[in-house]
């Protein structure tokens, strides 16, 4: 009997395990194999079921030649053991002294690739059967490799990753070791797909896969889970330092701009890190922890990394609960609008009212937008809520037109980034105004400066379409973004709102005064109105008036009020200043 197959290191030689309890049959089969392969085969003989199991545990073989009868045990059971793995192909040929169709079917069902009758054996028959089994094994291995790899990037896919993660957990459990799971999500990938097309998006994914591989060690495992998500399994002597270093290296690598299809693409990556066993002891738990950490990284500014923290779980639960309650609020009309006046201090008139949403929660009372808008912005709820705000604000403004002292008072509505990107924005705005025959000049849409800078090249087209509807457009929080003068000249906006951060200390900080004066002068040079928001003290009002800004909003005059209260307040204000 020859030595186990692992002791032979020659890829051209076939490694065969012959499981046969009859020594005469073993000698006969061995002679046929020697004739067929002229020494290019290594035969390991196991004369019992148990010995075969030992050899299989120690070594792997190209071919398993198994007798149907093994004393008190059955070769079919051993065949099933050998072929039980879904993703490992083992070529088994079953030998029997019986020409029985039933046994033939049982052999096939158990996973055997061929079935040979001992009385008909010959060297050529064995060689042909082995050649067929090896060919089939090769084909099946190729199919399995395809099933375990992403066809676009060539990386391992989710199936392969799950297997690797399960194996890594078993190893780490035995060795009492730690390892990291890093979940990566590309920043701005959707924008690339939407603006440059899926072909460019696919190219970006392929290039990203190569860049990631270049930044990893040979011992690290990387897979593409789908979309723009990648995942890495990595082990380090110092888990904290090692995982931080690799995350920083990946972020730095992917921060470099790319030239694809004649376009410069600036992307990045957000990474979530989970550590075994602290953040999970199962594949599902580790991946969930890494996903929560990645989500926090994404929400925290992108192009950064976060380690999992159990508090993320609580935050997620609270967010889901809040979103459930928000859907109920939408369905049962729990939202109300409050209005804060925008006053022209030269004429003493309320020229506009900013619509500010509140949530009349059945248990928690009246909630400000900061308590629920961030949750709504995480999904499409903000689109539905924003549409309701626009429609209600237009209806309220229409009512003001019936009151002599408010007939010239317009309404201002904030648009979230998701609303501004929504392809249905233009028809939604048009319908809200036209359905109640409101004059378009009474409607102003506010968009933050940061939102305008993030939208991309189609921002001017979107603003132009809104401008063509006849509505005014205001840039909110002006001065906090990075608008260039050339952009401002192109944007069809009518109003700039000075961010309250420049107003809060304007009576103490010279820098804030200089910045505000520059914004006022810029507005005048571009023929745009300038509103100072956040005016709370008389001293602030006097300074911005001196700087040439006379459109004012803030607590110095009044807080935001419900519709009826605002209507009464405005009439009294106009009476007082008429």
pLDDT digits (tens, 9 = 90+) for 40-84: 999 999 999 999 999 999 998 999 999 998 877 889 999 999 988
Residue 110 buriedness (CB in 10 A; 0-12 / 13-18 / 19+): buried
CATH 3.30.70.270 domain extents, the chain: 158-309
- The rounded distance, in Å, linking the Cα atoms of 333 and 90 is 64
Instruction: Please give the CATH number for the structural domain made up of 158-309.
Output: 3.30.70.270
CA 575 distance to own-chain centroid: 55
Low-confidence ranges of the chain (pLDDT < 50): 1-11
- Name the token pair of 2: 């020859």
CB-side exposure of 364: number of CA atoms within 13 Å? 13
Alpha helices in 63-155 (DSSP H): 75-82, 101-110, 123-147
> What is the predicted pLDDT for the residue at 455?
55
- Name the token pair of 171: 């190893």
> What is the predicted pLDDT for the residue at 374?
86
Name the residue with tokens 């392929």: 206
What's the CA angle centered on 294, arms 283 and 184, to 5 degrees? 80
CATH 3.40.50.2300 domain extents, the chain: 5-147
- Name the token pair of 183: 């979940």
> What is the predicted pLDDT for the residue at 486?
60
What's the CA angle centered on 520, arms 519 and 525, to 5 degrees? 95
Question: How does DSSP assign 188-229, residue by residue?
Answer: THHHHHHHH-HHHHHHHHHHHHHHHHHHS-TT-EEEEEETTE
Residues 6+ away with beta carbon under 8 Å from 566:
338, 339, 341, 353, 560
Instruction: Determine the 3-state secondary structure of 309 from DSSP.
Output: coil
CATH 3.20.20.450 domain extents, the chain: 319-576
> What is the predicted pLDDT for the residue at 456?
56
**Beta strand 179-187 pairing with 268-276:** antiparallel
- The rounded distance, in Å, linking the Cα atoms of 292 and 278 is 15
Decide: 107 and 79 in contact? Cβ < 8 Å.
Answer: yes
Decide: 458 and 195 in contact? Cβ < 8 Å.
Answer: yes
- The rounded distance, in Å, linking the Cα atoms of 218 and 558 is 65
pLDDT digits (tens, 9 = 90+) for 355-407: 999 999 999 999 999 999 988 987 779 999 999 999 999 999 999 999 999 99
Alpha helices in 366-499 (DSSP H): 373-376, 381-400, 417-421, 425-434, 449-455, 459-468, 485-490
Tell me the CATH number of domain 5-147, given options 3.90.550.10, 3.40.309.10, 3.40.50.300, 3.40.50.2300. Answer: 3.40.50.2300
Tell me the CATH number of domain 319-576, given options 3.40.50.300, 3.40.50.970, 3.20.20.450, 3.40.630.10. Answer: 3.20.20.450
């Amino acid at each position: 009997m020859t030595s186990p197959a692992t002791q032979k290191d020659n890829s051209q030689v076939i490694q065969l395990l012959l499981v046969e309890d009859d020594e005469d049959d073993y000698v006969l089969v061995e002679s046929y194999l020697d004739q067929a392969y002229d020494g290019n085969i290594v035969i390991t003989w196991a004369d019992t079921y148990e010995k075969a199991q030992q050899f299989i545990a120690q070594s792997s073989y190209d071919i398993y030649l198994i007798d149907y009868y093994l004393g008190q045990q059955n070769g079919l059971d051993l065949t099933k053991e050998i072929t039980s793995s879904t993703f490992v192909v083992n070529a088994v040929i079953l030998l029997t002294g019986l020409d029985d169709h039933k046994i033939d079917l049982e052999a096939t069902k158990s996973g055997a690739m061929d079935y040979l009758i001992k009385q008909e054996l010959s060297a050529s028959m064995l060689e042909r059967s082995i050649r067929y089994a090896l060919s089939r094994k090769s084909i099946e291995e190729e199919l399995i490799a395809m099933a375990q790899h992403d066809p676009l990037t060539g990386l391992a896919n989710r199936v392969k990753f799950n297997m690797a993660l399960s194996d890594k957990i078993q190893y780490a459990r035995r060795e009492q070791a730690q390892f990291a799971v890093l979940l990566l999500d590309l920043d701005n990938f959707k924008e690339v797909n939407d603006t440059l097309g899926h072909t460019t998006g696919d190219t970006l994914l392929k290039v990203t896969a190569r860049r990631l591989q270049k930044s990893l060690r040979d011992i690290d495992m990387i897979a593409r889970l789908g979309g723009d998500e990648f995942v890495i399994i990595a082990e380090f002597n110092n888990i904290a330092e090692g995982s931080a270093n690799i995350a920083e290296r990946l972020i730095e690598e992917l921060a470099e701009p790319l030239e694809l299809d004649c376009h410069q693409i600036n992307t990045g990556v957000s990474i979530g890190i989970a550590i075994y066993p602290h953040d999970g002891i199962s594949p599902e738990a580790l991946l969930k922890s890494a996903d929560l950490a990645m989500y926090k990284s994404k929400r925290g500014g992108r192009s950064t990394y976060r380690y999992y923290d159990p508090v993320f779980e609580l935050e997620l639960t609270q967010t889901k609960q809040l979103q459930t309650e928000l859907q109920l609020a939408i369905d049962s009309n729990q939202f109300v609008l409050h209005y804060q006046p925008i006053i022209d201090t030269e004429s003493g008139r309320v020229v506009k009212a900013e619509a500010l949403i509140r949530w009349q929660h059945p248990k928690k009372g009246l909630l400000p937008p900061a308590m629920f808008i961030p949750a709504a912005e995480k999904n499409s709820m903000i689109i539905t809520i924003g549409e309701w705000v626009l429609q209600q604000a237009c209806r309220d403004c229409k009512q003001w037109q019936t009151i002599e002292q408010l007939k010239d008072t317009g309404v201002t509505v904030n648009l979230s980034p998701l609303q501004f990107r929504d392809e249905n924005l233009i028809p939604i705005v048009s319908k809200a105004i036209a359905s109640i025959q409101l004059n378009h000049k009474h409607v102003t849409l506010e968009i933050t400066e940061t939102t305008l800078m993030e939208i991309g090249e189609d921002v001017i087209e979107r603003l132009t379409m809104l401008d063509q509807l006849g509505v005014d457009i205001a840039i909110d929080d002006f001065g906090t973004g990075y608008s260039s003068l050339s952009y401002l000249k192109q944007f069809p906006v009518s109003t700039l709102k000075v961010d309250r951060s420049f107003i809060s200390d304007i009576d103490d900080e010279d820098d804030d005064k200089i910045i505000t004066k520059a914004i006022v002068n810029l507005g005048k040079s571009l023929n745009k109105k300038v509103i100072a928001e956040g005016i709370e003290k008389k001293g602030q009002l006097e300074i911005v008036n001196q700087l040439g800004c006379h459109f004012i909003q803030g607590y110095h005059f009044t807080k935001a009020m419900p519709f009826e209260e605002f209507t009464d307040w405005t009439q009294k204000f106009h009476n007082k200043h008429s």
